[in-house]
A and B are shown apart, each in its own frame.
Chain A
Amino acid sequence: MLLLKVENISYSVTVKEERKKQFEILKNVSFKVLSGEIIGICGESGGGKSTLAKVIAGLIKPDSGKIILDSVPGKERKSSPIQILFQNHEEVLNPYRKIQSIIDEALKISGVDRSSIENGREKVLSSVGFPEELYNRRGMELSGGEQQRAALARILAVKPDLLILDEPFSAQDVESQLNLVNLFKRLNKEFNLTMICISHDLRILRNLANRVIILKDGEIVESGITKEVFDNPQKDYTKFLLSAESLELTYEEIKTPIKN
């Protein structure tokens, strides 16, 4: 079932300092997301990945194009059906507020009645593996990984139709990365939660995403079933990313620009 349609999205910014020069951040981006899928979006820094996430979530208005979400019918909501787990999660959680109160508020927003809040809190926090002894801690009293899980729990509390993960694996060691991949896979299965995962890490996307979109300079270069794209890349840029990841590029290859 189709959940999201991204149609011909373009977005540009004007930089005053550079004589009002226009920079195209996204160029005519279109793709579809099916319900229950995990889609990976990868590419280098500055390729437009995070901007695309913000456009999809409605945080940035594109210059042209449409975002059509086929939301679950009959669901009245006070929160956006598309939620983002931001990269800088430490800036998303209120550092002075207890995690328990942050989650309770999100549950109230999603319409959970007072008597079921305790139950709901326990459910979302345990589903992301957030330990009970930390419920009464404040944002600032948690490690980066704990904050990330708390931020994820708050998102789950408002029951989004689509969850966007923006570079969730950066600055983590492999064991934490693997735990997180397994957590996302489990949430995807248990709640049939559709996800878009933005990451420059192809290795992790190969493990997590059913389909993958390769973005370069704001344009989709290649897309398809993750395994097929990575095992048999058609475009030079995809090949470049794959050898870059295995740290096997020569100096000439790094320096030579690749056309889209």
Chain B
Amino acid sequence: MLIVDINSVLLIDWEKRKTILQNLKFDIDRGKVFTILGKNGTGKSTLIKSLTVLLPSEHYVVEGKVLFDGTDLLKSSEDKLRETRKHKIRYVFQDAHGSFDPLKKIKYYFDLSNVSPLKIEELLHFFLLPPYKKLSALHSYELSGGMAQRLLIVLALLANPDLLILDEPTSGVDYAVMNLILLKIKNFVRDNDKSVLIVTQDINFALKSSDYIAYLSDGKLSRFYTPEDLIISTDIAIKNIIESFKELSNASA
């Protein structure tokens, strides 16, 4: 469905060009959950933004190709890209409140989705959010961070995209909600033959949710491993995080 063949992502700072990411080459197939694991500041958000030309062109240059159903997104018109991001490739960014216009009520976003209130109600119910009527009347700033994030996932799912991209879906949510997100991702992929791409530093969530996981460090992306293979990878950077994870999980005080 999505073939990523990016040679490099460059940051232009005055006259200087700095390579932030290089050699991003991977395919995203239907019916699978892919995760890119990496620490804070390794460029995970930059990576997902580079896929659909979301990085401001005055500061970034993306060299390569991103083929989505045969079309190169990096060469597409702004209109085409906007359509793609509205219907086909939906993002849920980490800054949930920042994704809403504070002057608009939530009803505005429900109306934009063109989905019947009944269907919306079903998803709200699943994510343990207030009912349609109550939520419609609220502004985004009246929601807690966790609620706003769940609502963003609901809105993204309402578009029924081919690819759902989630940026740190577990940050700031408690375990019950994490379980909900996990269940929904699995259903979405399985029942609709869709795909999910997650970028996160949460290795626990990555191992439980993903079919394939790659590791991003120093601007370079490893190959995609199955969770079982990731654990026994001999790549030194991956080995280090797996060891830390095991040590944190197994030791007792």
Contact = CB atoms under 8 A, between A and B. Distances in A.
B253 A247 contact: no
A172 B180 CA distance: 22
Interface stretch (B24-32, B169-177, B219-227): B169-177
Interface string A217-260: 00000000011000000000000010011111111001100000
Contact of B175 (A44, A173, A177, A204): A44
Contacts of B174: 44-45, 200, 244
Given A204-B248, A210-B253, A173 B39 contact: yes
A175 to B, nearest CB: 5
Interface of B: 39-41, 126, 128, 146, 171-172, 174-176, 178-180, 182-183, 201, 203-205, 208-209, 240-241, 244-245, 247-249, 251-253
A136 interface: no
A162 interface: no
Given A173-B39, A173-B241, A200-B175, A247 B248 contact: no
Interface of A: 38, 44-45, 143-144, 170-178, 181, 185, 200, 203-204, 206-210, 226-227, 241, 244-251, 254-255
A177 B205 CA distance: 16
A209 B253 contact: yes
Contacts of B178: 244, 247
A220 to B, nearest CB: 18
Contacts, number: 89
A125 B182 CA distance: 41
5 contacts: A44-B175, A170-B171, A203-B249, A245-B175, A249-B179
Contact of B176 (A170, A172, A244): A244
B213 to A, nearest CB: 14
A159 B209 CA distance: 44
Contact of B253 (A144, A176, A226): A226
Contact of B180 (A178, A207, A208, A254): A254
Contact of A206 (B171, B172, B176, B253): B253
B18 to A, nearest CB: 18
Contact of B201 (A173, A209, A246): A173
Given A173-B40, A173-B201, A178-B244, A244 B252 contact: no
Contact of A254 (B179, B251, B252): B179
A204 to B, nearest CB: 6
A38 B175 CA distance: 23
A244 B247 contact: no
A227 B250 CA distance: 11
B251 A207 contact: yes
A244 B182 CA distance: 11
Contacts of B179: 244, 247-249, 254
Given A200-B174, A241-B175, A245-B175, A144 B244 contact: no
Contacts of A38: 253
Nearest to A206: B252
Contacts of B252: 206-207, 226-227
- Nearest 4 pairs of A and B residues by beta carbon: A244-B175, A249-B179, A173-B201, A173-B39
Contacts of A170: 171-172
Contacts of B209: 247
Given A244-B176, A249-B179, 11 more contacts: A170-B172, A171-B171, A173-B39, A173-B40, A174-B244, A178-B247, A185-B253, A200-B175, A244-B175, A244-B178, A247-B209
